[in-house]
Amino acid sequence: MRRRYLLTTLLAFCFSLFAWLNFAPAAHALGGPQPPLNQPAPEFTLPTNTGDGTISLADYRGKWVVVYFYPKDFTSGCTLEARRFQQDLPKYLNRNTEILGISADSVDSHAKFCDSEGLKFPLLADTDGSVSKAYGSWMGFISLRHTYVIDPEGILRATFTGVNPAIHSAEVLAKLDELQQAG
């Protein structure tokens, strides 16, 4: 019993120390290797329920892009995250920024989800997980909750892997402001 307590205490101390030191593996997260910062973001073209039926990252050259991966339409965390992005959509648009949501759900599921939640930004169907894999955000059959900020030249500038849906949009906006002021 005492041995288990000591081991648990030691593990808790190590995790606390890593958090205090802001330790984060640079190249990996749950889901696989992350694309490198300050390099071109992985390109993609995926089906969507909006516009001409497909969207490519290249369609957004000249704009900032927030690409957020999420597990499943109509689940509580994913709904909350989408609502927050929708609530803040005017702030993103004022910053020359577009939002793209990606999950393994179908185009039909995305259409129903957008209609149900009043979402005015595109959701893309990565049904085979190929784009999620390219971004290190794939866990077997679902996309993980990761977000990427891409600049107007298509360069990956920020990665979020520990996402709290309730506050995430505010975090992304703050990072976007920081990046835009630095550039």
Mind telling me the catalytic residues?
A: 78
Q: How far is CA 119 from CA 5, 40, 66, 87, 131, in A?
A: 48, 28, 15, 9, 22
Within its chain, how far is the Cα of 102 from the centroid? 8
Contact 85, 74 (CB under 8 A): no
Single-letter amino acid, residue 63: K
Q: How far is CA 110 from CA 5, 28, 86, 94, 126, in A?
A: 47, 29, 14, 25, 11
Strand partners, 101: 68, 123
Contact 29, 36 (CB under 8 A): no
Within its chain, how far is the Cα of 148 from the centroid? 5
Q: Which two tokens stand for residue 34?
A: 């992350």
